[in-house]
Amino acid sequence: MFEWMKGQYRKIAALRGDPKAKERAERVFLEKMRNWIERTDPGLELRTQVTAALRENFGPDGTYGVFVRSDTNVEDLPGFTGAGLNQTIPNVVGEAAIVSAVQKVWASPFTDRSYQWRQSHMAQPEYVFPSVLIQKAFPSEKSGVMVTSDVEGGSKQYLTIAVNEGVGGAVDGQPAESLRVDRRTGDTRVLGQATAKTRRVLVPTGGLREVPTSGKDRVLDDEEIRELVRLAKEVENFPALKTDSGVVPADVEFAFRRGQLALLQIRPFNESKAASRSGYLSGLDGKASERKSDRVRLDENPGGFR
């Protein structure tokens, strides 16, 4: 399969002068790769190893759900972050269904979207190696993402937090509660409110269900924010965050249930250096800064301010 794949990449590269033929060849190639991975029996040995590990770590078949998540060796490259490009299948219940989900996630780097995003960053595109993580589902009441720096200004004095009610908060495009927290004092600035009308909950038989949110003005309470401040201090000891120039900010997925904090994922925060050096984007920030002291009269029609 690997030799066949290398040959296909060479044929696709030779079609650069004919965009339509190149697009057709890519579509056929990617579909064959996905079908090959999804439909080929992974073998008795692999299925036995997976089911044995599931029982050892999570318990009897059918008594739990898992998220089947992806990673590749090209998730974080200079100028490129692949987070979210590949498939995650939520709350899969049953060993047979989990093995099937593993194959679907394994194949997902060969979707058109994932392929097109990474191609310009790879001189040897055949060297894409997917891995699959099987993670026990956590029945989150609240969940979100925390970056251990101010994502706008870069200051490590602050934490940036986005959170929603339910499972998978702040990672699927929902309007999230956005906070900037001073890690020294705990002072919290609300940057945006969570306005989603529904939240996702785990279904015991598998999958997710949408139910109404609580309608509360705030998602995180004061004690939960203090828990996240404490977590931010602890994660600085995580080896992957330590570099020769110091500790880099962390990108943390977290969840709460009945006040209990759960750490779901941690990785270095990969920000765009090119964007931070962009004169155009800096100019936009400058214009916004000039207007930060403007007052908006809520009892007047729009248009009465500079």
**Which domains occur in the chain, in start order?**
2-136 (3.30.1490.20), 142-272 (3.30.470.20)
Determine if residue 266 is left, alpha or beta; phi over 0 gives left, psi from -120 to 50 gives alpha, anything else beta: beta
Neighbours of 97 (CB within 10 A): 16
Indicate the pTM of the whole model.
Answer: 0.78
Amino acid letter, residue 162: A
**Spatial CB neighbours of 38, under 8 Å, sequence gap ≥ 6:** 103, 104, 106, 107
pLDDT at 83: 66
pLDDT at 244: 81
CA 47 – CA 26 distance, rounded (Å): 31
For residue 256, the 8-state DSSP code is: E
Mean pLDDT of 200-210: 95
Where do we find the tokens 């599931």? Answer: 54
pLDDT at 275: 47
Where do we find the tokens 């759960």? Answer: 262
Is 131 in contact with 252 (CB distance < 8 Å)?
no
Mean pLDDT of 31-46: 94
